[in-house]
Amino acid sequence: MVPTDRGAGPHLGAVLPSCVAALLGEGNTLGLPPLRGAIVLVVDGLGASALKARRGYARTMGAALGPRSVISTGVPTTTAAALSTLLTGATPGEHGVVGYSVLDPATDRIVNQLNGWGGSVDPATWQRRPTVFEDGRIRGVAVGHSKYRSSGFTGAILRGADYLAADGIAERFDAAVRAVTAGERTLVYLYIPEVDTAAHAEGWESERWSSALEEVDSALTATLPRLRPGIGLFVTADHGIVDVPGSRHVLIDERRELIDGVRHVGGEPRLLHLYLEPDLADGERAALLERWRAAEGGRAWVRSRAEAVAEGWFGPAVDEEVAPRIGDILVAARSSVAYYDTRTATTGSRSMIGQHGSWSPEETRVPLLRFGV
């Protein structure tokens, strides 16, 4: 069974809508009191289990972490899908960002959902739901690195927000504080990718990861006394991390029986989307699915698109326009493995230690820490 916990406790998609409601003095899913302003700090890649294990490097965040300060993020546990859920309150099946790299049916090509925007993958329409900043009743501000200011992904998930660029971590915190105190009913989205970058490069158990976590916690600690009464600061993440050494890579193109009939390989190493040849007969499709189950069912959840949709992988419902973006076969790692197609994998991707995308608690359970409320 897939260990889905959708519906069991708070979900990442409730965070920003609850903040908007609190700014308007309305009831909300998270039970937040009325707020004058709110900062939502997203520490990319900060899983609850990793924070607990390294809480000595993050004393402020670690002290706030407890059983009631952990929430679920959706599958795929990947930045593009999870941040789209966070910023819209919708599920991947609704907003349409269903993976790291997915099929654009209009052009029959795999598109990267972080940096492959353009053409038919229009930020204004591919991400199909309004963001919380388009509500119009609050002031929305996004604080992030200058390199993300004009990206297609920023255009897709931060529509309606003013973007403030600051390159250093401490500078981003400063910008967030200035923005949230500049007026009433201001919601600030503060994005910190450095922890995730360190995890990909060297793993979450590395000294580099601990140092990045320590820097974020230090900036947070310095910021909290500067918050005025009525301003809440919330710390969360888009996904967690598992470390996968190179010896645990599964090279799918070395087994012809697993790729015969596969037209495109998308997704990411811990959650493959396999797109089959359009003219592949139903019997051949079913046989390929069974070959995958026989080969990898011991260390991965292998599902057809229809099965994954029925089990709620992408939310309670998948819009008709979104369904073709999902792989015909999905392979989600459940042990510490990562799947690669060496015909298309880059040297950079093969060198990553920290990985995410699948259903493990280390990937799906993230903190929701509350300060000032």
What are the domain boundaries of the chain?
Answer: 12-97+111-243+358-371, 246-354
Once rounded to an integer, what is the mean pLDDT over residues 218-236?
97
Is it true that domain 12-97+111-243+358-371 has CATH number 3.40.50.150? no
pLDDT given at position 346: 83
What digits encode the pLDDT tens for the residues 98-139? 999 999 999 999 999 999 998 889 999 999 999 999 988 999
Q: 246 vs 272, 274, 296, 352, CA distance in Å?
A: 17, 22, 18, 8
Class of domain 246-354: alpha beta
Torsion angles phi and psi, residue 87, rounded to 5: -80, -15
| % of the chain residues with pLDDT over 90 | 93
CA atoms within 13 A on the CB side of 220: 31
- Asked if domains 12-97+111-243+358-371 and 246-354 share a fold, the reply is no
Once rounded to an integer, what is the mean pLDDT over residues 324-342?
97
What digits encode the pLDDT tens for the residues 148-205? 999 999 999 999 999 999 999 999 999 999 999 998 899 999 999 999 999 999 999 9
Torsion angles phi and psi, residue 335, rounded to 5: -115, 180
CA separation for the pair 113, 80 (Å, rounded) = 6
Q: What secondary structure does DSSP assign to 3-47, as a single string?
A: ---TTSS-BGGGHHHHHHHHHTT---TT-PPP-SEEEEEEETT--
Once rounded to an integer, what is the mean pLDDT over residues 340-359?
92
- Does 302 have pLDDT greater than 70? yes
pLDDT band at 8 (very low <50, low <70, confident <90, very high): low
pLDDT band at 326 (very low <50, low <70, confident <90, very high): very high
Helix residue ranges per DSSP H, the chain: 15-23, 48-53, 59-64, 79-88, 92-95, 152-157, 169-180, 194-202, 207-223, 256-259, 282-296, 305-310, 347-350, 361-364
pLDDT given at position 29: 95
Q: Are 77 and 333 in contact (CB under 8 A)?
A: no
Once rounded to an integer, what is the mean pLDDT over residues 15-33?
97
Does pTM top 0.85 for this prediction?
yes
What digits encode the pLDDT tens for the residues 55-109? 999 999 999 999 899 999 989 999 999 999 999 999 999 999 999 999 999 999 9
**Residue 341 burial (CB count, 10 A):** 19
Amino acid at 352: M
CA separation for the pair 113, 79 (Å, rounded) = 9
pLDDT given at position 178: 97
pLDDT given at position 135: 87
CA separation for the pair 249, 251 (Å, rounded) = 6
pLDDT given at position 22: 98
pLDDT given at position 329: 98
Mean pLDDT of the chain: 96
DSSP state of 151: -
CA separation for the pair 325, 320 (Å, rounded) = 10
- Nearest Cα neighbor of 154 from 146, 170, 168 is 146
